[in-house]
Amino acid sequence: MIYTLTGLVLPTKALSTWLKGIKFNNQDEIFYNENSKLPEKLISYSFEQQNKTKQIWQIEYRDYKSFSGHQLATKFNITHDNLTIKIALSQWSHL
């Protein structure tokens, strides 16, 4: 659906780790909240094979809640160039 609306291919393999606040690539950068020590922002650098271009994705984390004893964000802003995708989760499973 995102591709149909924007022409942008969302890196779905990376997305599952990003949403958990985990780096997908070694060069990714995570910035933590000084008080809570939970991820606030992740910047991911990837290489798009088809167009041979470097892509920068920024993920912002908000509204942390406890799921199975883990503090996980429930709201995310995923930004690439001038496009922002907002994701809201009501439940986490299979952590």
Q: How far apart are CA 36 and CA 68, in angstroms?
A: 18
Provide mean pLDDT across the span 71-89: 92
Residue 6 in this model has a pLDDT that exceeds 60? yes
**Of residues 59 and 48, which shows the higher confidence score?**
59
Q: State both tokens at 85.
A: 């995708």
What is the token pair recorded at 86?
């907002």
> Is it the case that residue 25 has pLDDT exceeding 80?
yes
